[in-house]
């Protein structure tokens, strides 16, 4: 008697689908810890300034010191993955993240912390973009909203829990212990990843290419209106969110006089929507189309920043942070879904460019916002709010074609 081969809606065997889903959760865990590390220092900027006897603006540079090199290096990692295979590059990058994060604990000055974070950003930048590219190969376009929701929810969750955890753990383990714990977590995730070498290698085959092909590929990705508007929005939207979020700890300290633990509690709402609702937001995009959700998410982000200008009781801080996070969760994952359809035979390169725009935007946003603080929080928040509102208004027209395509049976 022949045995039946049960398949899910995508045509995969149930066992294959289960393995794919387990891999998705491992990718989400790796994404979470990388974003956790990126933003765990944001709420302890005032404490580090006191520890090393320098200004908060100077200490604030350790955030873009990680984010900008991370973004730049993704351009090269995309080519390496296309040539050598995603699994080899991803595992090496995760190993670099774990080792260099732990070594940051040896720093004796802000300058040394910044240097270690530059090196960590360069080494770790092969994990998230290749994970996103892998989703593009494992799931058909009309089903990518949910898995991308998992990964972008992990990004938001890492930002959300990294900030309060960094603030609340430092009094007990010190800032050095914080880096050691996160480095150990990265090493543990790498060990759990190893059994998935086969499915990762089978999903994306290496593609031969040169640096000439690299630049021609980026020119092609940016040569269409769809690519230009998508990557442009990823850049500017990430500038907005990182600029506002990075300096929220200083905002709450100056406006409400709270310490590190209070800052951590105030930021607790950020990332909760993406962490809990990311897959649901992805399903909504798959069902109703990205054209409907993108303007709403951008507008919500602007509203949250406007509330920071107007002021509110400290008890409502987690709610405002949650609203800001929801705006991120309704935009960046949806842009990522569009990018997965742009790469063709070079998904690593397409997603590498996406993460380049994402991380460079985050680095520039935190840097520009910090420089503008000399004019006060109202000016910085006001400018960022107006830019985000402009993006929301223009997105109605620019992304109107991103609707659900009804396929005939």
Domain boundaries, the chain: 17-202+220-398
pLDDT cut 90: percent of the chain above it: 19
DSSP, res 407: P
- The total of other beta-carbon atoms located within 10 Å of residue 315's CB is 8
Q: How far is it, in rounded angstroms, from Cα 239 to Cα 227?
A: 18
**3 state DSSP class of 13:** strand
Q: 136-167 pLDDT, tens per residue?
A: 777 776 676 778 777 877 887 787 778 777 77
Q: Which of 81, 98, 115 is nearest to 34 (CA)?
A: 98
DSSP 375: G
Q: What is the pTM of this model?
A: 0.73
More confident residue, 67 or 298: 298
Among 206, 221, 231, smallest CA distance to 335 is for: 231
End-to-end CA distance of the chain: 32
pLDDT at 408 over 50: no
Between 52-66, 103-117, 208-222, 233-247, the lowest mean confidence (pLDDT) is in 208-222
Comparing 95-104, 113-122, 123-132, 150-159, the range with the smallest average pLDDT is 150-159
For residue 64, is pLDDT > 50? yes
Closest-CA residue to 117 (of 187, 156, 70): 70
CA dihedral sign, ordered 158, 159, 160, 162: positive
Rounded Cα distance between 151 and 345, Å, is: 22
Sign of the torsion formed by the C-alpha atoms of 200, 206, 210 and 213: negative
Q: How many CB atoms lie within 10 A of CB 398?
A: 20
- The arrangement of secondary structure in 17-202+220-398, i.e. its CATH architecture, is Up-down Bundle (1.20)
Q: What confidence tier does 120 reach under pLDDT thresholds 50, 70, 90?
A: very high
Q: Which of 32, 6, 249, 31 is nearest to 128 (CA)?
A: 31
């Amino acid at each position: 008697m022949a045995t039946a081969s049960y398949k899910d809606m995508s045509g995969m065997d149930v066992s294959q689908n289960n393995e794919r889903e387990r891999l998705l959760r491992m990718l989400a865990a790796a994404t979470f810890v990388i974003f956790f590390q990126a933003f765990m220092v944001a709420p302890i900027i005032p404490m580090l300034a006191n520890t090393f006897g320098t200004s908060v603006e100077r200490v604030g540079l350790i955030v873009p010191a990680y984010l900008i090199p991370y973004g730049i290096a993704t351009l090269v990692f995309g080519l390496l993955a296309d040539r050598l295979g995603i699994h080899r590059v991803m595992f090496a990058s995760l190993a670099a993240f774990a080792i260099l994060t732990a070594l940051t604990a040896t720093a004796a000055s802000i300058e040394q912390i910044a240097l270690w974070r530059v090196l960590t950003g360069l080494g770790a930048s092969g994990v998230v973009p290749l994970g996103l590219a892998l989703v593009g190969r494992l799931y058909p376009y009309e089903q990518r909203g949910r898995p991308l929701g998992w990964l972008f929810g992990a990004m938001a969750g890492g930002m959300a829990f990294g900030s309060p955890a960094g603030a609340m753990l430092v009094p007990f383990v010190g800032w050095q212990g914080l880096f050691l714990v996160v480095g150990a977590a990265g090493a543990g995730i790498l060990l759990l990843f190893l059994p998935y070498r086969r499915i990762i290698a089978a999903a994306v085959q290496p593609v031969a290419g040169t640096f000439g092909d690299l630049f021609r590929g980026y020119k092609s990705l940016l040569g269409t209106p769809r690519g230009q508007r998508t990557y442009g929005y990823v850049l500017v939207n990430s500038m907005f969110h990182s600029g506002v979020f990075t300096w929220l700890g200083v905002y709450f300290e100056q406006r409400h006089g709270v310490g590190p633990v209070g800052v951590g509690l105030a930021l607790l709402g950020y990332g909760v929507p993406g962490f809990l609702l990311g897959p649901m937001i992805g399903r909504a995009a798959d069902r109703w189309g990205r054209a409907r959700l993108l303007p709403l998410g951008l507008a919500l982000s602007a509203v949250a920043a406007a509330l920071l200008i107007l002021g509110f009781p400290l008890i409502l801080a987690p709610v405002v942070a949650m609203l800001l996070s929801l705006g991120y969760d309704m935009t960046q994952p949806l842009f990522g879904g569009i990018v997965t359809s742009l790469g063709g035979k070079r998904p690593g390169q397409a997603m590498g460019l996406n993460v380049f725009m994402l991380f460079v935007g985050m680095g520039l946003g935190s840097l520009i916002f910090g420089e503008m603080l000399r004019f006060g929080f109202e000016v910085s928040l006001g400018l960022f709010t107006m830019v985000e509102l402009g993006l929301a208004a223009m997105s109605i027209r620019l992304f109107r074609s991103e609707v659900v395509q009804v396929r005939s049976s």
